[in-house]
Structure 1
Amino acid sequence: MRSTETAEAAAVAATVPPAGPVLADGESARTVRLAGLSLVVRSRALPAGAEPALYVHGLGGSSQNWSALMDKLAGIVDSEALDLPGFGHSPPPDDGNYSLAGHARAVVRLLDAERRGPVHLFGNSMGGAVAVKVAAARPDLVRTLTLVSPAMPEVPPQRTAWPTGLASVPGLPRLYMRATRDWPVERRAAELFALCYGDPSVIDERTRAEAAAEYQRRLELPYFWDAMIRSTRGIVNAYTLSGQHALWRQAERVLAPTLLVYGGRDKLVSIKTARRAGHAFRDSRLLTIPDSGHVAMMEHPELVARAFRALLDERAGVPGRTEPGTGPSAAVAGS
């Protein structure tokens, strides 16, 4: 990704087909077509003049992962969330590049094409690592950075994260598919909830049914496993990079005020990395939610929204409204 990369000539917007994403009240969606790339973008717009925000989902996720937080921030920012190439309702990229750098280029190209930057940039898990790369390479595009359980290198990773990483090993995904081919989609969705949520019992039946239906739709996509496997390999490969391309080194280059959010029950990103992250990002504040899992913006959107509003107040110099425990390098018991 080059900092001198110019804006796309124009983004061509088209109506999302009837089989497009399930939208929450107040949301709309469109497809942005770029050379070799089509991205579905979910919006929750405000009247002109509001500062823009862009949300980047994690591995296996979609723009819908941000709907709850976008709702909590309605009236605060002009929100858009994209489906990364090959995920959600976005088709695969023409070049088949699912590396973190490839996903970051897609984000940059979208922002350049639509001239929305600088934005309040949010990222979860893999999307958090992607957001770090964007913020480090293109500081002109980022007002603030909010990272929810960002997939930053951790050695050794906690044991509950090993199965996800093993998806990058040639042959193992095929063995997994054979071993689970008789699983009903409801079981697959339940396994995903158990992996990502601190307390899956809070998920209502409607949400479970919608998640199962969406899981079934994705399984039927011819590129589903390719996008998952290649993106997982992209994460693993990024963890092995050294020098200026190393993710932790790139975190040190981020200039934007940064909010770090970690869950005490996260099975994929250990809360132990929060301390290192707090030191790596030069202008950081930390929110820890003891009861949360890997997707705090879905499980505890009100707490994440509150911390983000405190960040905005701090940035604007509003006195006396900073949330308890937020501020540079501070930790919050959020529940």
Structure 2
Amino acid sequence: MSGARSGTGLSAPPGSVPEGFMLVGGIRVRYRDEGAREKPPVLLLHGIGRSLEDWEGLYARLAPDHRVISVDLPGFGLSERTEGRYSMESMARFVLAALDTLGEHRPLHVVGNSLGGAVAMKISALEPQRVRSLVLANSAGFGREVTLALRILAVRPVGRRLMKDKSRKAAYRTERALFHDKRFVTEERLDHAQEVGRNPAYDDVLLAVARHLGTFRGVRRRWRTQLIRTVAAQHKPMLVVWGDEDRVLPASHLDHARAVFPHAEFHLFEKCGHMPQIEREEEFDALVRAFIGGIDTRN
């Protein structure tokens, strides 16, 4: 996939927010590209049904020493959807195509939350030379257990009926499930959640991804077992973090991560839900910067 780029330029000065849209294979994709492009690149990948806003606390901290790139995955956030079947591979290859469009071909530090963590691992599995390190935050792929809401989405036609509710109350329920502390469910986040939910592709893509990932019984074993085995064999620098009060993917999955990635670094955030990059912003940022900085210094 390739395409002509539009929106703000790559050479925006520090402190600005280089955010806009680009074309990737004819698909209009929202992206953010911050920091000096000659610096080591970092890629940020959000979770299912989410957007690049989930990384708001990380951009300014990483940008002085890195080129920081994030995209709304196709069909999520404000990005258009791709045609054809959605799969872990299709999403990973689309991200790689977006990086090609931005002219970024160097090995990346890839930071992924939830679905974004699984996509990060899939990128490493497909193109290992393009991934320098992995930071996995409450990542999919480490167990069958997952919130009932996502299991229901995998069931036709129940999932479709569930998606019809676009009310503020429904948005609140979804956002509330992500955080241990309800104070993080702000009016601004609810506004954005409803905006994202109005993306014409949102319902179809969310349902397609949910059905690819799992069934009513939970996350499918086949894709996660193969993916974990491939990435474990690469022995790349890795940081795996979790929130101990995650209601989406339980913190018990961290135990599996410890078993399959014994070489990795680990951290469990107390009184924290599914999005430690938001709920434990300063601690999360410090961990990520120390981890990435150590790799940059050694190489």
TM-score by length of 1: 0.78
The counterpart of 1:62, out of the listed 51, 54, 64, is 51
The answer as to 2:10 corresponding to 1:28 is no
The counterpart of 2:152, out of the listed 139, 161, 166, is 166
Deviation per CA, 1:17-73: give whole Å up to 9, x if none. xxxxxxxx6312132322253321112223x53211111110010111111122232
The answer as to 2:2 corresponding to 1:13 is no
Matched with 1:322 is none
1:191 aligned partner, one-letter code: R
How far, CA to CA, are the matches of 1:202 and 1:196 in structure 2? Answer: 9
| Contact 1:13/1:30 (<8 A) preserved | no
Matches within 5 A, 1:166-185: 166-177=152-163, 180=165, 184-185=167-168
Matched with 1:3 is none
Structure 1 stretches of 5 or more lacking a match?
1-7, 17-24, 319-335
The counterpart of 1:297, out of the listed 266, 277, 289, is 277
Matched with 1:277 is 257
| Contact 1:196/1:266 (<8 A) preserved | yes
The answer as to 2:171 corresponding to 1:189 is yes
2:19 aligned partner, one-letter code: A
Structure 1 pair 13/36, CA: closer, same or farther in 2 (3 Å)?
closer
Matched with 1:323 is none
How far, CA to CA, are the matches of 2:223 and 2:48 in structure 1? Answer: 25
Deviation per CA, 1:133-182: give whole Å up to 9, x if none. 11122121111111110011413x15xx122122011111233246x46x
How far, CA to CA, are the matches of 1:212 and 1:243 in structure 2? Answer: 32
Structure 1 pair 139/149, CA: closer, same or farther in 2 (3 Å)?
same
The answer as to 2:94 corresponding to 1:106 is yes
How far, CA to CA, are the matches of 2:220 and 2:246 in structure 1? Answer: 23
How far, CA to CA, are the matches of 2:223 and 2:91 in structure 1? Answer: 20
Structure 1 pair 256/225, CA: closer, same or farther in 2 (3 Å)?
same
Structure 1 pair 53/317, CA: closer, same or farther in 2 (3 Å)?
closer
Structure 1 pair 169/140, CA: closer, same or farther in 2 (3 Å)?
same
TM-score by length of 2: 0.87
Matched with 1:264 is 244
Larger Rg: 1
How far, CA to CA, are the matches of 1:37 and 1:202 in structure 2? Answer: 32
Percent identity between the two aligned chains: 24
The answer as to 2:209 corresponding to 1:231 is yes
Matched with 2:12 is none
| Contact 2:77/2:199 (<8 A) preserved | no
Deviation per CA, 1:191-221: give whole Å up to 9, x if none. 1221101112245xxxx23223223323333
